[in-house]
Amino acid sequence: MTPNRREFFQAAIAAVAVPARVLGANDRINVAVSGIGGRGNDHLLFLAAQQNCRIAAVCDVSQEALERAVASVEKLQGHKPAAFSDMRRALDSRDVDAVSIATPNHWHALGTIWACQAGKDVYVEKPACHNVQEGRKMIEAARKYSRIVQVGLQSRSNAHKIRAMKLLREGVIGDVYMAKGLCFKRRKSIGHQPDGPAPPGLNWDLFLGPAPMRPFNALRYKYNWHWFWDTGNGDIGNQGVHEIDIALWGMGAPGLPKTVVASGGKYAYIDDQETPNTLLAAFDYGSREIVFEVRGLPTGTEGDLDRLGGNVTANLYYGPDGYMEVDPEGFRVYRGEKREKVIDEKRAEGEAYATEPHFANFFDAVRARDPKRLAADLEIGVAAASLAHLANISYRTGRKLAFDAASREFPGDTEANRMLTRPYRQPYAVPDKV
């Protein structure tokens, strides 16, 4: 996500629990925000801007982050929220109708399941889950407890992208045979750091939660957790999951692929990062495919997207009659053998980058008790995250993998199937029975 987008709109994880009563359009919803890092701070801003939304509680494993969050809410809304180091305490509170989860990836599924079990609705940040099996359990919990769960794929509430997807469905370039997602985000080396004691006020055990216990290391904390398999999924599961979702959206939600193959590596740098900074993945659906590319090193780009400069996040769609480019600033359509530009639509001046309307859409669905109103229902979010996870599994096993969408397994591949889930650390296990 580009820096200016982050400054404008970023949604972390918001799980919202609603009371048993039927909510009207003007009823206030009390929200707890879980995870007050960069994304969680953005959530505070967006939630404070929502009509009849009260930030009732904040949750974080860091006492310093909690204190900052309490001060922010006092400034934004004029009251002091409850503060909890453990999200479960907020879920126990009758003063909380909703929970926003802006934690690291490895907490998304368990936090969402706990919230559903507690009778709360959920807005959860992308990627919806840390592995494929978690996504299935999240969906089971949401359906079992009749919860409204929105995933923070805010492009689904972006006006110009909605218009672009409508044109694709109407056949502006014919039947799309390939969608390509680009995540060209410059990521510098994280270097090396020795293990050491956790900072005062940080509950390191609770931060790791479902992940294996490891000694504290500063590189495994604040943002760089994205680049370690225990807690993150690399840039394909960080920024890239947005573009994967947009690729699926433009192709009409084709489901899970027949095969996946991904190759790349962590090139140029010798440091402690585990995930690749360069990755090329292909998802085969038989008569069409999705291609996804991560580039974290200095790079050129493709077509007219070069005008965006060094950081490019975009989608390309190819059909027999032409192709379309979609990016945060607008979209363009080129048709015919001469690639004539027939549409060049820019993001409207003053138009939000979609996080704020995405929250508004969530609250609309919560008040109506209608998940069909959601722009990015949990199943949409889980589908996008699953593709990122399948690509990472192919990369880590080093081979092309066949996938059975019906059983959600790699037929006959024990090694790959183990990576569909993870060993959990008690008492933070994602339950088999939700």
- Domains of the chain by range and CATH? 3-156+354-376 (3.40.50.720), 158-353+384-418 (3.30.360.10)
Mean pLDDT of 372-387: 98
Please, which pLDDT band fits residue 353 given cuts at 50, 70 and 90? low
Task: Please say whether the beta carbons of 42 and 355 come within 8 A.
Answer: yes
DSSP 374-386: -SSBHHHHHHHHH
pLDDT of residue 364: 96
Torsional sign, CA 75, 76, 79, 82: negative
Which pair of tokens denotes residue 238? 């960080």
**What's the pLDDT tens digit per position in 114-164?**
999 999 999 999 999 999 999 999 999 999 999 999 999 999 999 999 999
pLDDT of residue 307: 75
* N- to C-terminal Cα separation, the chain: 33
Helix, strand, coil tally for the chain in percent (to 5): 35, 20, 45
Of 158, 170, 181, the residue nearest 5 (C-alpha) = 158
Which has more confidence, 347 or 172? 172
Task: Please say whether the beta carbons of 388 and 420 come within 8 A.
Answer: no
Mean pLDDT of 5-24: 38
Task: Please say whether the beta carbons of 325 and 341 come within 8 A.
Answer: no
pLDDT of residue 34: 98
pLDDT of residue 26: 59
pLDDT of residue 6: 37
pLDDT of residue 59: 98
pLDDT of residue 303: 74
**pLDDT beyond 60 at 24:** no
Hey, what long-range contacts does 207-211 have (CB within 8 A, 24 or more apart)?
207/61, 207/104, 208/425, 209/106, 209/107, 209/110, 209/425, 209/428, 210/106, 210/107, 210/110, 210/130, 210/422, 210/424, 210/425, 210/428, 210/429, 210/430, 211/106, 211/425
Task: Please say whether the beta carbons of 76 and 44 come within 8 A.
Answer: yes
Torsional sign, CA 375, 352, 41, 232: positive
CA distance 225 to 311: 21
pLDDT of residue 349: 74
Of 165, 161, 155, 168, the residue nearest 375 (C-alpha) = 155
**pLDDT beyond 80 at 14:** no
- Amino acid identity, residue 3? P
**Which percentage of the chain shows pLDDT scores above 90?**
88
Which pair of tokens denotes residue 189? 């080396």
**What's the pLDDT tens digit per position in 172-191?**
999 999 999 999 999 999 99
Task: Please say whether the beta carbons of 390 and 283 come within 8 A.
Answer: yes
